[in-house]
């Protein structure tokens, strides 16, 4: 039995245009092309499409998917491998969700009780499911800042490092709250948060308008920074970048 491209698109949720693209790049040729020029797919192609969509959901690029499919691994074995990756991703996302949920609850409680963030118990809980590199390592594109951040980090105790990480995450959550409320990136409350970030950086090393804009762009372009922001709230990395650009244009030029 085979299915026309329109039916495959309906079943899979993938557009016919995407299916044609997969054919054009050799990723998913149809089983046959009818005399009417329409593409038709059989069960084998549907199984391949499922693998493609699973790998795309895991953020695997099309070239890498092509290499995986070209290895011609047994379908059942391939699905077992995809299943394990999905379970691992589920566990990671569950841990991230629990971490962010717990942080929000602790922030709300700290505000209610008038307790500073640094007084929250078990700060290590803040980082379950998250494995970021050291903050100063992500400043490597900004030598002056990276050098001073590294020097200060070397002099810190583990507790002080944890406190700094926690406070940075708290600021990210505050920014996410503004974003969730629909507050524009150029609004006063958001710009106040960005000003606090700028002043913190400026205590390490003078930061020009262009450098601050570049740091904003790194929130999206730097894979580790972007992942940290997106773990808090999807779209937060771009929101931070845009807010920094506004601040640099209005206050630093």
Domain ranges across the chain: 3-72, 132-251
Q: Is residue 131's pLDDT more than 70?
A: no
Of the candidate ranges 76-85, 90-99, 125-134, the one whose mean pLDDT is the lowest: 125-134
Cα-Cα end-to-end distance for the chain: 66
Indicate the helix (H) or strand (E) that contains 237: helix 236-251
Render pLDDT for 204-246 as a digit per residue (tens, 0 to 9). Answer: 778 889 989 999 998 898 887 888 788 778 899 999 999 999 9
Burial class (CB in 10 A: 0-12, 13-18, 19+), 243: buried
Q: Is residue 202's pLDDT more than 80?
A: yes
Lookup result for tokens 């092309």: 33
Q: Is residue 140's pLDDT more than 80?
A: no
What is the model's pLDDT at position 158? 63
**Backbone CA torsion sign across 197, 190, 98, 229:** negative
* Separation of CA 28 from chain center: 28
Lookup result for tokens 């691994």: 73
Give the CATH number of domain 3-72.
1.10.1660.10
Percentage of the chain modeled with pLDDT above 70: 68
Residue 120 binned pLDDT confidence (cut-offs 50, 70, 90): very low
What is the model's pLDDT at position 17? 92
- Residue with the bigger pLDDT between 98 and 185: it is 185
| C-alpha–C-alpha distance, residues 223 and 136, integer Å | 15
What is the model's pLDDT at position 88? 67
Residue 159 binned pLDDT confidence (cut-offs 50, 70, 90): low
Percentage of the chain modeled with pLDDT above 90: 30
Q: Is residue 125's pLDDT more than 60?
A: no
What is the model's pLDDT at position 248? 94
Whole-number average pLDDT of the chain:
78
Residue 141 binned pLDDT confidence (cut-offs 50, 70, 90): low
DSSP at 155: T
What is the model's pLDDT at position 101? 74
Structure tokens belonging to residue 44: 């084998």
Q: Is residue 28's pLDDT more than 80?
A: yes
Residue pair 136/168 in contact by the 8 Å Cβ criterion: no
What is the model's pLDDT at position 144? 65
Which residues have a Cβ under 8 Å from the Cβ of 230 and sit 6 or more positions away? 236, 237
């Amino acid at each position: 039995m085979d299915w026309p491209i329109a039916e495959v698109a309906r079943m899979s949720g993938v557009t016919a245009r995407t299916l044609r693209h997969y054919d054009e790049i050799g990723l998913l040729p149809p089983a046959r092309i009818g005399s009417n020029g329409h593409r038709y797919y059989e069960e084998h192609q549907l199984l391949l499409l499922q693998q493609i969509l699973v790998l795309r959901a895991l953020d695997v690029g099309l070239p890498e998917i092509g290499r995986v499919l070209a290895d011609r691994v047994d379908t059942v074995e391939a699905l077992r491998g995809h299943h394990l990756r999905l379970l691992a991703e589920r566990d990671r996302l569950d841990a991230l969700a629990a971490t962010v949920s717990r942080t929000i609850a602790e922030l709300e409680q700290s505000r209610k009780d008038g307790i500073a963030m640094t007084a929250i118990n078990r700060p290590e809980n803040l980082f379950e499911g998250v494995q970021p590199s050291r903050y100063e390592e992500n400043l490597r594109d900004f030598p002056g800042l990276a050098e001073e951040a590294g020097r200060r980090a070397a002099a810190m105790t583990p507790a002080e490092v944890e406190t700094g990480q926690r406070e940075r995450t708290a600021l990210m959550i505050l920014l996410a709250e503004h974003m969730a409320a629909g507050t524009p990136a150029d609004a006063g409350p958001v710009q106040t948060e960005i000003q606090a970030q700028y002043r913190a950086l400026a205590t390490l090393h003078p930061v020009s308008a262009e450098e601050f804009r570049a740091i904003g762009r790194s929130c999206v372009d730097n894979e580790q920074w972007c992942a940290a922001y997106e773990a808090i709230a999807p779209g937060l990395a771009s929101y931070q970048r845009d807010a920094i650009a506004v601040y640099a244009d209005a206050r630093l030029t």
